[in-house]
């Protein structure tokens, strides 16, 4: 089951809060506990969540197509 953007954001916010408090053990919404061995591992988990959240965002168009004419039929 895929997580929604709000669930992913909530998970990321929880990890950021735990990391800023120096906590390495986090319990998720299912009651499962994850222990991170280092700050680098927590940073990687946060970055992975950021990538997942960005993947759900709508892409910004980078091409604009114009359709012009002189108004005369040839």
User: pLDDT, tens digit, for every residue of 11-68?
Assistant: 899 999 999 999 999 887 778 898 999 999 999 999 999 999 998 887 777 888 888 8
Q: Is residue 30 part of a domain?
A: yes
In a domain, residue 5? The reply is no
Structural domain for 30, as ranges: 19-56
Residue 1 included in any domain: no
Q: Name the token pair of 7.
A: 């669930």
Against a cut of 0.75, is the pTM above it?
no
Is 35 within the bounds of a domain?
Answer: yes
Q: Which residue, chain included where needed, has tokens 């680098």?
A: 40
- Per mean pLDDT, which of 2-6, 34-38, 67-71 is the most reliable? 34-38
pLDDT at position 48, please? 94
Say which DSSP state 71 is in.
S
Rounded Cα–Cα distance for residues 38 and 20 (Å): 13
Q: Quick check: is 45 in a domain? A: yes
Phi and psi at 38, nearest 5°, equal -155, 170
Q: Return d(Cα 25, Cα 72) in angstroms, integer.
A: 71
Q: How many independent structural domains does the chain possess?
A: 1
Q: Is 33 strand, coil or helix?
A: strand
Q: Does residue 13 form part of some domain?
A: no
pLDDT at 73 over 80: no
């Amino acid at each position: 089951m895929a997580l929604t953007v709000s669930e992913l954001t909530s998970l990321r916010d929880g990890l950021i809060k735990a990391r800023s408090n120096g906590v390495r053990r986090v319990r998720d919404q299912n009651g499962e506990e994850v222990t991170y061995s280092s700050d680098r591992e927590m940073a990687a988990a946060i970055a992975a969540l950021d990538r997942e959240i960005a993947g759900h965002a709508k892409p910004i168009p980078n091409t604009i197509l114009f359709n012009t004419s002189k108004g005369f039929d040839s």
